[in-house]
Structures are given as structure tokens and as C-alpha cells.
Structure 1
Amino acid sequence: MIMNRKLIHIEGLVILILMLVLYNYINYNWWLFIVLLLVPDLSMLGYIINTRIGAVIYNMFHTYVFTVGLAIIAITINHELLLAVSIIFTAHIGMDRTLGYGLKYPSGFKDTHMQRI
């Protein structure tokens, strides 16, 4: 279990670094990166409804499937801003995994797939 957790931390760091490099490569505004980096955490507001719905909403915005889907759409329609947002959100997920924050279980906000916070 500890080894798996370390791998997730390392994976998150690699994703974070790759997204920073990619964002720099597309040469988009860094002020946007700074402003939007923590926006996915607004999904925590779902917990106001209840823990089950909160976990679903939070997890939806903290999975690579969501951000890769955004990137595919952005590339398909040639939308530079949407591509930048997908990179920023992916960087956020990588940052979270690096710090030990994981997907949430419906039992409570502090119960994650990585550890109990």
C-alpha cells in the first residue's frame, strides 16, 4: 500500500511537470494558469448537498478522463483557450496527487483512494 501511494505521488509530480512544460510550449498566458490552477477545487461545493453527491462532483473534476476529454475537444475544434484550461486542470490533478490528495469516497471528504486525510 505504501509503495502504491509513493507511485501515485511520483506519477502526479511527473504529470504536473509535463503540464508545465506543455503549457509553456503552447505559449499561453501564465496569469491564466495562476488564476485557474485551484478552480477544480470549487467542486468541493458539492459537499453542501451531501457527501455522496459531493464525492461524485469532486471526482468528476479530479480525474484525468475529464481533462483529457477537454483536451481532445479543444484540439478537435482548434480552441486554444479550452486547450489551455485542460492543461491547467490536468496540472491541478497532478499537483493534488503529488501532495497526497486523491479521489473521494462517499463516506466523507477526508476518505480518499490514497489515504485518510
Structure 2
Amino acid sequence: MKKLLKLEEFFLFGLALFLFSGLDYGWGWYALLFFAPDLSMLGYLANPRLGAWTYNLIHHKGLSVVLYALGALLSIPWLMFAGTFLLGHSSLDRVLGYGLKHEDAFQNTHLGMIEG
């Protein structure tokens, strides 16, 4: 089942790249900002509960869909950029095994424990 879920996430990453390619932004921006959503981990400096909350908010696919949809409906390209960017980042994270976090520890995700 994990392989099937990772394959699904891989295709969502591809969708994000496809949607991004239709925007008027250079690929350098995508590469430069790729790890920016991981700044949401800084909440863990306060405590695991806040860290999980901030990480999950930024890595939730619903946020990326809402941002992209609002951008498309309101003709705001930077919102579409943010939506495709967050979708791509979150999807690739999940391909690599980094899921949404439980409140007890960063390593405890909805995909299982992160080993290493």
C-alpha cells in the first residue's frame, strides 16, 4: 500500500510541475524556494504540538488547492504560484516518506515513523 500511495504522490508532484509550467514564473524561483515550506518546522523549537500544527498547516494539500483556486478565480498569479508550489513540495515530501505530523514527535507521521 505504501508504494501505491507514494506513486499517487509522485503523480501529484508531476501535476504541480505541469500547473507551474503554465505560469509566468521561471523555474529558478521554484528551485530557490523549494525548501521554504520546511521553515514551518521552526514551531518545534517551542514544542512538538506547535511544531506539528505549523508543519501540518503549511504541508496540508487543502491549503495548496485553496490558494491555487483563489488565484485562478481572482486572476492573481502569485496565489497560483503558491498553490502549485506547496502542492509540489508536499507531494514530494510524501514520496520521500515525510507525512503530516502527530503532536508527540516530528518522526511520527500519518505515513508511519520516519527512520534515520
2:101 to 88, 98, 104: 104
CA contact (8 A) 1:55 1:104 kept: yes
User: Which runs of 4 or more aligned residues in structure 1 lie more than 6 Å from their structure 2 counterparts after TM superposition?
Assistant: none
Please report how far the alpha carbon of residue 21 of structure 1 lies from its aligned counterpart in structure 2 after TM superposition: 1.5
Distance 1:46 1:116 in 2: 19
What TM-score do the two structures reach when normalised by structure 2?
0.92
C-alpha distance in 1 between matches for 2:91 and 2:53: 19
The corresponding residue for 1:68 is 65
Partners of 1:74 and 1:83 within 8 A in 2: yes
Match of 1:12, as an amino acid? Answer: E
- CA distance, structure 1, for counterparts of residue 47 and residue 4 of structure 2: 31
State how far apart, in whole Å, the 2-side matches of 1:49 and 1:74 are: 33
Structure-1 residue corresponding to 2:10: 13
Using CA pairs under 8 Å that are at least 6 residues apart, name the structure with larger relative contact order, 1 or 2: 1
Task: Give aligned pairs, total.
Answer: 114
Matches within 5 A, 1:24-103: 24-103=21-100
How big is the alpha-carbon RMSD for the aligned residues of Structure 1 and Structure 2?
Answer: 1.1
- Deviation at 1:101? 0.8
Q: Identity of aligned pairs, percent?
A: 36
In the alignment, structure 2 segments of 5+ residues that lack a partner are: none
Extract unaligned runs of 5+ from structure 1: none
User: Residue 66 of structure 1 aligns to a residue in which SS?
Assistant: helix
Q: 2:79 and 2:33 mapped to 1: Cα distance?
A: 12
Indicate if the aligned counterparts of 1:12 and 1:95 stay in contact, CA closer than 8 A. Answer: yes
Is the 8 Å Cα contact of residues 36 and 85 (structure 1) preserved in structure 2? no
Query: How far, CA to CA, are the matches of 1:19 and 1:72 in structure 2?
Result: 13
